[in-house]
Every structure is written in structure tokens, then in C-alpha cells.
Amino acid sequence: MIPHPAFSVDPWSVGETELNLDVLAQAESVFALSNGHIGLRGNLDEGEPHGLPGTYLNGFYEVRPLPYAEAGYGYPEDGQTVVNVTNGKIIRLLVDDEPFDMRYGRLLAHERVLDLRAGVLRRATDWESPARRRVRVSSVRLVSFVQRSVAAILYEVEPVDASTRIVVQSQLEANEPMPPMSRDPRAAAVLAAPLESEMSVARDQRAMLAHSTRASGLRMAAGMDHEIQCTGRYGSLIESGPDLARLTITTDLEPGQTLRIVKYLGYAWSSRRSLASVRDQVDAAVAEAHHTGWERLLAGQRDYLDQFWRCGDVELDGDAELQQAVRFALFHTLQAGARAERRAIPAKGLTGPGYDGHAFWDTETYVLQALTYTAPDAAGDALRWRHSILDFARERARLLNLQGAAFPWRTIRGHECSAYWPAGTAAFHVNADIADAVARYHAASEDDDFMREVGTELLVETARLWRSLGHHDADGMFRIDGVTGPDEYSALSDNNVYTNLMAQRNLRAAAEAAEQYPDPAAALGVDHEETAGWRDAAKTMLVPYDERLRVNPQSEGFTRHEKWDFANTPEDHYPLLLHYTYFDLYRKQVVKQADLVLAMHLRGDAFAEDDKARNFAYYEALTVRDSSLSACTQAVMAAEVGHLDLAYDYFAEAALMDLDDLEHNTADGVHIASLAGAWIAAVAGFGGMRDHDGRLTFTPRLPPALRRLSFGLGFKGRWIRVEVTHDQARYRLRSGPPLQTSHHGQPMTVTTEEESVLPIPDAPARPRPSQPPGREPARRRAPLRWVAPSASVPSVSSPNPPEGATP
């Protein structure tokens, strides 16, 4: 785990004040910058030392073979893995011929700060070389939200106590040596040097490299240009080769003199366009960045984020560390999808190669919940990506002898990439998760063009899958057998409650869309008989219930299975999948991540209140949280049924997943779904926000440790702000027509003219449920105080904080 004091606690930034090589890779993920199209890991500017180099383009991948001991019909043959593309971050420095490397000499001061309002990574270092030459180095790095194909770096060097020879090498480097990414030697060989050179050119202070992948046939290019300011005389030389382009700048500086370099980077890729087209796109991006200039790039970044925070900020009083964490979480959630523009949102965003860069159902179920209400354009674009891979999903359904579309469990381009079919192919709930996100986005945005162009088709084709996958039994109930729900410690179960209830919503939404948008529905061949079949299946959907225990079994027969022997499971045997066979896990009552509990959140309209409380207590005793997706959902339902302290513990776990490296794999990228889950835990948990059937309602309650929660969200052309204390909640529209909603079941109308202030009833008194031994969430202790960032880090000039921001 990251020793947390290394990160200073501040409401609007995350900083480190020492260089800890043992957690360098984790810090690189935390400090990663992205706009959803370009991703730059937070590697040091000089390239070394590093934990894991990483520069990514969303959707750019290489094909690799999937290993099987024994293949079978319908098994995916190839996987897809994100590629570390040409690295433009590298700016090497030599001080009197000595490489600037913080592992040598004396590191007198070091600080890096991820600025959540300015959208930049700032760095300041005071270093003395082994030859006792002392220099101060500072940099500011950004990936532009405004200019999608652009990143930029400001790099400054100043000698401190003597005349110093300075050499700076600004580089583009492809096929960087990487640590092994796969145990399969065939895949390792494919990924060792995945880029083949197609072009290299250098002139004046500009250079470009273009490459293509061997197997997937994708083409990408990276370009750089520079602005150089130096108070002394300097010279420069540019050169390029197949995998390296380098601008070398040499100068002699006296104390007080500074070499200042602004490096503009442009990236582009395509699966279809010519080399000339991709080259010209990068040339244009770099030229536009140079024309805009450093200061205006900074200003555009700040303006973009000011608007985001003004609408979507979450404020917490009473826990400084969690205030920082929830803003960090929102920032990374935004980065993952802001400018993805019809590309996937991977599970690790563009912060690292974890999960091979794949997108899962996490995107629709967690990430798009947050983005729909805070950055709706990004949510709509993510769903348009799903529509773009619909033909692959139809093809997969046909291969499985099903109708409609079968969306992949994990993918980059749209093909199923899971070699383990019980968790992959059988996890059909991804179809319903996509449909749920479509319905949520449309209800919140009222984007009818979206429904005509893509939404109706997504709902129709996902509904068709359920109608062919399920069947009516002898009692007339609609069953969906042999599927895998969200809990990956169960597989091939009959009538998984989450799957059935989400499929029910999918079927209803498809029928409603076909009526509301008859032209696209007719073009798809939808008729009255088909919509009637969807409605009938939804009406008769089987939802198992155990009358003896008075709880819902996670799937049919689940509560009759033998319970896992938690008492005799050693603490070091978690996560269980690394120490026990799936066969053993599948036949026992043990839950990897919230499944039935997630159903109660997303389909809370299908459960009685007393059943929710009993279900929650039952599954708390079985859930081991071997997945980062679990804590936020448990936080939401703990808050709803009245366990506010427990909800607070789970909220902290979701929000601090990466800042504290709780899953021990932040090194390969942050957990975007868990970070989005921090927003969900705050807004849906303590804010009590629900959006069933396209209507917002609120049942807010705070845990004792928090004094105030305030959050904003957009809905149907309105921006609403909600403020919660222990005694009352305040609702007010920032913009838009009056909104009909409810507070703890009491109908109300929220307007821009007058604030609605309503009392908060006490939570029901219930005993705190127990968890498996050793799997309890860490109790949230006394929060940390603010720690002001060091004045040694150069600040980025910016306007006043956004309205409503906590100073």
C-alpha cells in the first residue's frame, strides 16, 4: 500500500513531497493525465527512474493469441491489448555532462502536484549532481480537454550556485523497453516491440514519427514542436530515426539564468486512413497548439474544468481526506471519458495497461452514472461507441445461436476478449447494463436525436437477446437460465436476480422506445407482436425469493448452497480466486462483489423496504469484496437501510481505492469504476438520489462524521444543487424550469426563485450487520487536517475558484 502521508491533503490537489521509488508506479497512475483520447502516465519528465512507462491512445491496440488448454466452439480466438505508443513526455537533462537522475547525487527537494482545478501536473525539484552542480528543475504538464489531439509541457532549468553547462534532449521514443505484460510467450513476443516504423521526419524544432501495428494493422503518428527561451546563448540540433526523434538544446547558464522550453505534442491514429492523412492530422494539431500558445492552453484547460466543477462538484465538511479523494475521483472519471468521443472508457482509463486496456460493463453501470449527471456529452459519446460495435455484437449473438446482439464482457474494438467463457460469454447482463445506461442518459438529457440515431437500436437489439435467451416455463414464468451475474464467484446460475431485473427493465425500455420512436423501430423490423412479447416477458419475469429466510437468493437455489468456511480461511488467502478453484467457489455461498445488493440499488423499485434491510444484512455476511466494484454499492445500500457509519466506511474505501492502493494494483492504472463509485456513494448513498423510471427522488442522510454534503447534477436541461446537513436538506435549481421531485417520499417542486428546505427524518435503528471475519471495511478514523502544498511548486495562474467551491 502507498504510505499515505506521502500525499499531502488539500481540497483541490494531490501532491507528493518525497520521491519513493518503492511506490513510483502507483504514483505514476495517480498523477496520470488524460482527456479520454490521449493518456500520459505520470512518469518523471526525464524518463528515468520509472515504474512503468505509459503513453496511450484510446482504442489503439494490438492483437494477441488467447491461450487455451482445450478450445471449444464459440471461444474467442484472439485478444486485444492496449499498446504503449510513442512517448513524447521525455525531456532528458544533462548538467555538466552528468545525467539528471534523482537516484544519484543529492535530492534536496522534490514535489509533484496534480492540480484538480487547473488540470495539470506540476513538478519542482532541487538537485545536486554527484559533481556538486546544483540546479532547480520545474515543469507543468497538461493533456488538453479543449484541443483533443494535443498535450504540452513547460520545462524550466536554472543553475543555483555556479556557471553550468546544460544539455536538454526533448524526444519522441517508440517501442520503449517494457516489463513483461503476459506470461504467454506468444503474446509477449507480439507486445515486446509492437510498432513498426512507417515514417520519421525532423526539421527546425519539429519532428514526427509514424508507426503501425503488425497484427491489428492500426496506424498512429506523434509529433512535437518547441518554443525555446533562454537568458543565455543556446544552440539546437534536431534528428530522427525509425523509433527516435530528438531535439538537443545546449547552453551555458549562470546562476539566475533560465532555460525555458515549451513542448507541444500532437497524436492521431486510424484503422483506415492513409499515412498522409494521419501525418497531416498530427501536423495540424501541433500547429494549432503552437498557434494557441502555452498560456492560452492553460486558460482553456482551466475554463473547461471551471464549468465542470461549477456543475458537478461534491463538497464535504468534516473529512478533509475524503473531500480531496472524492474530487480526485471525479477528476479521473472525467479524464477517462471527456474527449473519448465514440471510443470505449477502459476500466483503468488511460492511466495504465491494467486489464489489457479493456472496457467492461463497469463503464455503463458505474462510470456513466456519474458522467450522465455531470458531463452528459461524454456519457452520450460512450453509448455511441457501443452502437458503433453493434455489428460485432450481432455477429457474436449469431455464433451463440441467439437473436439480437450479445455485447462483449471485455473488449477494446468490440470483439469478445475473455478466454474464460463462464465469466465472459455467460455474463449477458452487460446487455442490460448498456440498456440501463441508454434509458438513464435519455431520461436525464432528453436527447431525442440520440434515441433516433442509436438509442432505440441499442434497446431493441439487447431486448431481442433476452427474448431468445430466456423462456416461459410450465407455470408461465419467464426464466433466464445458465448465466453469470456481476458476482464472479458464481457462474452459470439460473435466474440471477440482478440479471433478471435488469433484463426486465431492458425489455420494458425497448417496448417504450419502439412506441415513442416508431420510424427507427420500423426500420429494425419491430412490430406490435414483438413489443407485446417483450412486455409479456417483463411482466412474468421470475425473481426468486426464499420464503424461509425471507430474502432473495442471489440466483435460484443460492441460499441452499453450503456457506463458505470463512472462519478457517487464512487472511493471506484473499483474494480467494488466487488460492481456490472456481469449482469450489461456484458451489458455495461466497460473494466476490455486490450482486443482489447492486440489484437493490439499480432496481430498488422492485424491492420492499423490509426486504432490502434483510437482504443487505444477509449478503454482508457473505461478501468478501475481492473486487474494487463492491464498496461503493455497499455504501449506497448501507446508507439506504440506515447503517450510516458502515456506509461511511465503504465510501472511504471506494474513494481511497487508489490513493491508498487498497487493491495493491494501482501500479497498472487507477480504478475508474471505483472512483466513479465514490461519486455514487456520496450522491446516491448519503444524498439518497434515485432515478427510477426517469424521475429523480432524494432520501438524504449523513453519517455522524460528516457535517455537510453538497452536490450538483444536471437533469432534463436543469442544474440542481442539493445541500445536506444532519437536520435538513436544501434544494435549489441553478438554472432551468421547475423540477418535480420528492424528499423522503414527500413531493416537492424545486425552482430557481426559492430554495426548498425540508427536515431529515431519523434513520431506522438496526444492528450493524457482520461481514466475513477479516473482511470488514476499515473503520473510518479521525480525518486528517489540510496540509498546504509547498510554495516551491510553481503555481499556474488561474481565475477565482468556481462558484460554490470550498476555499
How much is the pLDDT for 782?
52
Ranking 189-193, 646-650, 741-745, 781-785 by mean pLDDT, the lowest is 781-785
Q: Give me the helix-helix angle, 275-292 and 294-312, nearest 10°.
A: 90
Question: What's the pLDDT score for residue 183?
Answer: 57
Residue pair 610/506 in contact (Cβ under 8 Å)? The answer is no
Cα–Cα distance between 157 and 168 in angstroms, integer? Answer: 9
Q: Taking 70 as the threshold, does the pLDDT of residue 807 lie above it?
A: no
So what's the pLDDT on residue 50? 95
Please give the distance of CA 513 from its chain centroid, rounded to a whole number: 29
**pLDDT of res. 729:** 98
Range with the lowest mean pLDDT among 38-47, 446-455, 625-634, 775-784? 775-784
So what's the pLDDT on residue 781?
A: 74
Instruction: Express each pLDDT in 394-436 by its tens digit.
Output: 999 999 999 999 999 999 999 999 988 888 899 999 999 999 9
Classify burial at 721, counting beta carbons within 10 Å of its beta carbon; exposed 0-12, middle 13-18, buried 19 or more.
Answer: buried
Q: In this structure, which amino acid lies at residue 453? A: E
pLDDT band at 178 (very low <50, low <70, confident <90, very high): confident
Averaged pLDDT for residues 144-153: 98
Query: Angle formed by the axes of helices 630-641 and 672-680, to 10°?
Result: 10
Q: What is the mean pLDDT of residues 342-359?
A: 96
Does the pLDDT at position 794 exceed 60? no
- Please give the Cα distance from 135 to 150 (Å, whole number): 29
The model's pLDDT over 276-319, given as tens digits with 9 standing for 90+, comes to 999 999 999 999 999 999 999 999 999 999 999 999 999 999 99
* Residue 798 scores a pLDDT above 60: no
How far is it, in rounded angstroms, from Cα 427 to Cα 431? 9
pLDDT band per the 50, 70, 90 thresholds, residue 804: very low
Dihedral angle of Cα 756, 761, 767, 768, to the nearest 10 degrees: 10
d(CA 672, CA 371): 12
CB 67 within 8 A of CB 419: yes
Q: Are strands 7-10 and 13-16 parallel, antiparallel or unpaired?
A: antiparallel
pLDDT tens-digit series, residues 741-791: 999 999 999 999 999 999 999 999 999 999 999 999 988 875 554 444 443
The pLDDT of residue 70: 78
The pLDDT score that the predictor gives to residue 502 is 98
Tell me the per-residue pLDDT of 36-78, one tens digit each, with 9 for 90 and over: 999 999 999 999 999 999 999 999 999 988 888 777 888 888 8
For residue 394, the surrounding DSSP H or E stretch is: helix 390-399
Give how far Cα 160 sits from Cα of 95, 288, 682, Å: 12, 35, 47
DSSP-derived pairing of the beta strands 718-724 and 728-735: antiparallel
% of the chain beyond a pLDDT of 70: 95
Amino acid at 391: D
Q: Is the pLDDT of residue 478 over 50?
A: yes
Beta strands in 359-431 (DSSP E): none
315, 457, 488, 723: the active-site residue: 488
d(Cα 621, Cα 549) in Å, to the nearest integer? 14
Residue 488 among the catalytic residues: yes
The rounded distance, in Å, linking the Cα atoms of 496 and 502 is 10
Q: CA 346 to CA 337: how far, in whole Å?
A: 9
Distance CA(252)–CA(233), nearest Å, equals 7
How far apart CA 503 and CA 81 sit, in angstroms, is 30
pLDDT tens column, 114-137: 999 999 999 999 999 999 999 999
- Say what the pLDDT of residue 180 is: 67
Q: Count the neighbouring beta carbons within 10 Å of the beta carbon of residue 425.
A: 21
Residues in Cβ contact with 529 at an 8 Å cutoff, skipping those fewer than 6 apart: none
Using CA atoms, how far apart are residues 239 and 246, in angstroms rounded to an integer?
A: 6
- Find the distance separating the first CA and the last CA of the chain, reported in whole Å: 30
**Percentage of the chain lying above the pLDDT 90 cut:** 89
Q: What is the DSSP letter of 391?
A: H
* pLDDT at position 558 over 80: yes
Confidence category of residue 7, pLDDT binned at 50, 70, 90: confident
State whether residue 767 is helix, strand or coil.
coil
Kindly tell me if the per-residue pLDDT of 799 is higher than 50. Answer: no
186 pLDDT more than 80: no
**pTM, 2 dp:** 0.94
